[in-house]
Structure 1
Amino acid sequence: MTSPTYEVVAIGNAIVDILAQADDAFIEEIGVAKGSMQLMFSPEEADALYAKMGPGREVSGGSAANTVAGIAALGGKCAFIGQVADDQLGQVFGHDIRAAGVHFDTAVRPGQPTTARCLIFVTPDGQRTMNTFLGASQFLPASALDLDLIASGAILYLEGYLWDPEEPRAAMRKAIDVARANGRKVAFTLSDVFCISRHGDDFRKLIAEGLIDILFANENELLALCEHESFEDAVQHIHGKVPLLVVTRSEKGAIALQGDERVEVGAEPIEKLVDTTGAGDMFAAGFLHAQAQGRSLEESLRLGAICAAEIIQHYGARAEVDLKKLAAQKLG
């Protein structure tokens, strides 16, 4: 087996986020559960909601893309596979992720639909309510996968958000086969309770078949996946079914379970909560990078918490400080 070239190769939605501030009354008006994610199924629907937005800012996003951008900012070498259209937003996404230091060479998709966009409304309490038009990202075909690239990553990282459309779901299944055939680990993030409500059976099957080595979830996602009301019952239900379980719990910190080892850390202190967009993505970035560096579970959780704390203190899901320097200061 050859040594991996990349710490992480991720497959996910290639999305440009458009963020704007909003109040609770606006969230109620558009009929979306605060703090959740809903899909928009046509460009017309996305355009209509965009017309209602206040002044916004564009920043490349997508869950797995945010994670590998975070790993690159920490000094790790990583790559991303995702589908954009041959349009302006596609150019924005490609420029941003390459500028972040991430290898990205998935061929653009000609014609309609447009590159995916996520309209994010941030309320004064820092909660983000996401409205996503998946556009071109939902048409990532298995034929677009660079199999050698997947085989060259120590960890293949997949996002639950991309499991919804049929074409990329098939692509991710193929990628799992390639990673495992080459002795690589497969990490999976559940992404959102919405994804579990639609594809929970698929996720449970992946776990039951032993195809997931590292599972990322937040507390609500874990409860939904395990169909339990008690957090500890849910942890015990899934523990042992995946080699490494990582669960974030917002202000209550995070836990990791691997074999007989269980480690918990508290949340990092912050000055002000501004925007929770990308908190879980950046937590995964810190955790995975620390694991790649051979750090302990406790150090990996701490670096995840450090990265998440940086992100939630400003708008957007990409770091605004030197993460590598921050990690050195906090962890040594």
Structure 2
Amino acid sequence: MKKYDVTGIGNALVDIEFKVQDQFFTDNGVEKGLMTLVDEERQNSLMGVINTAEAKKQAGGSAANSIVAVSQFGGKSFYNFRVANDELGHFYLQDLIDSGVAIAVEKDKLEAGVTGKCLVMVTEDSERTMNTFLGITQNFSVADVHESAIKDSKYLFIEGYLVTSQNGKDAMMYSKKIAEDTGAKVAMTFSDPAMVKYFKANFDDVIGSGVDLLFANEEEAMLFTGKETLAEAREEMKKFAEHFVITLGKNGAMIFDGDTFIDIEPYPTTAIDSNGAGDMFAGAFLYGITNGHSYASSGKLASMASSQIVSQFGPRLKREEAEAILERLKP
């Protein structure tokens, strides 16, 4: 019996989410709709013009959001990450603990530095724009990976954002090998179309002979496979993953269960914030397949959960909301 359903590796970023008007981007030279890496000076200048009193702060990062989701639905999860010995680092540790996520990082052993943070700007059209300063998480490496947690997990979940640095890529490949050598299955998310566009060669190295489960949105699937239609892309994806999920935004998702394609219908919702929708889909899906649900049932659960996420502000459900979704899933 494995101790954890899912162990994740990824960036540790404190998400600071706030609402803006489109004029904010013009006034401050921000490119709308993208995730942009910035230096600390640039991020601090943006921090100086936002209303921090109204901002929502949470322990985040793409894989972290998914790992928290596993826990919210009642699963057992573990997270590998790096934060600094500062106020936000301490906040990050406590927020994961309060969310029921197992960690091995100790507060009194944190090193000096600056914890990474992501400014998440949400506009009235529900689109998210992110400016990220990685801080100490850009040094995430093999040394931050807890081998024992991977060995004792049903699934390893790898965040695609790590592919941008050599040390991050090394950690991805190291973790994947541990999983493969010890019987844990390997799941990975591309995280962002820009990661696929600019770091495809690194993804090819990490994926190697393939992964058990791959998460991509429609744009990422097309970019990675180099195909011009979704039908062609999904056939090409079979070469890289035994199973995969392609999310389709308001049109739901499609799942390849190893034999057939399963169409997952979207659930009606009023979108106000798309931040974390893909992360929630991955987390809910991983919870489902590690807790007795079929691929179809897990997809339905993930679709319900992500539709709930986009209808509210912030990338997380409350535990009672997760429990209500599970209740709806019962026949």
- Shorter-chain TM band: over 0.9
Instruction: Give the equivalent residue in structure 2 for 1:52.
Output: 49
CA contact (8 A) 1:84 1:116 kept: yes
Structure 1 SS opposite 2:274? coil
Give the TM-score of the pair, scaled to structure 1. 0.94
Instruction: Give the equivalent residue in structure 2 for 1:281.
Output: 279
From 294, 297, 316, the counterpart of 2:295: 297
Unaligned runs of 5+ in 1: none
Change (3 A) 1:66 1:263: same
* CA distance in 2 between partners of 1:29 and 1:203 (Å): 36
- The within-5 A match list for 1:160-175 is 160-175=160-175
- The within-5 A match list for 1:248-263 is 248-263=247-262
Structure 1 SS opposite 2:283? helix
From 309, 325, 330, the counterpart of 1:327: 325
CA contact (8 A) 1:74 1:323 kept: no
* CA distance in 2 between partners of 1:261 and 1:32 (Å): 42
* CA distance in 2 between partners of 1:155 and 1:140 (Å): 20
Instruction: Give the equivalent residue in structure 2 for 1:82.
Output: 81
Structure 1 SS opposite 2:183? coil
* CA distance in 2 between partners of 1:21 and 1:279 (Å): 17
Instruction: Give the equivalent residue in structure 2 for 1:226.
Output: 225
Supply the AA of the counterpart residue of 2:78.
Answer: A
CA-atom RMSD in angstroms: 1.6
* CA distance in 2 between partners of 1:326 and 1:147 (Å): 34
Unaligned runs of 5+ in 2: none
- The within-5 A match list for 1:138-287 is 138-207=138-207, 209-270=208-269, 272-287=270-285
Shift of 1:245: 1.0
Change (3 A) 1:30 1:238: farther
Q: Deviations over 1:66-96 (max 9, x none)?
A: 1111110100001000000000000111111
Structure 2 SS opposite 1:217? strand
* CA distance in 1 between partners of 2:216 and 2:321 (Å): 23
* CA distance in 2 between partners of 1:166 and 1:135 (Å): 16
Aligned length: 326
Supply the AA of the counterpart residue of 2:97.
Answer: R
Shift of 1:294: 2.3
Give the TM-score of the pair, scaled to structure 2. 0.94
* CA distance in 2 between partners of 1:76 and 1:268 (Å): 23
Q: Deviations over 1:262-304 (max 9, x none)?
A: 101111112x212111000100111111101221121111111
CA contact (8 A) 1:109 1:136 kept: no
Instruction: Give the equivalent residue in structure 2 for 1:21.
Output: 19
Instruction: Give the equivalent residue in structure 1 for 2:101.
Output: 102
Instruction: Give the equivalent residue in structure 1 for 2:62.
Output: 63
Instruction: Give the equivalent residue in structure 2 for 1:123.
Output: 123
CA contact (8 A) 2:157 2:187 kept: yes
Q: Percent identity?
A: 32
Shift of 1:36: 1.7
CA contact (8 A) 2:245 2:254 kept: yes
Shift of 1:163: 1.7
* CA distance in 2 between partners of 1:176 and 1:245 (Å): 17
Q: Deviations over 1:145-178 (max 9, x none)?
A: 2111111111000111122122222122111111
Instruction: Give the equivalent residue in structure 2 for 1:43.
Output: 40
* CA distance in 2 between partners of 1:299 and 1:240 (Å): 24
* CA distance in 2 between partners of 1:205 and 1:237 (Å): 17
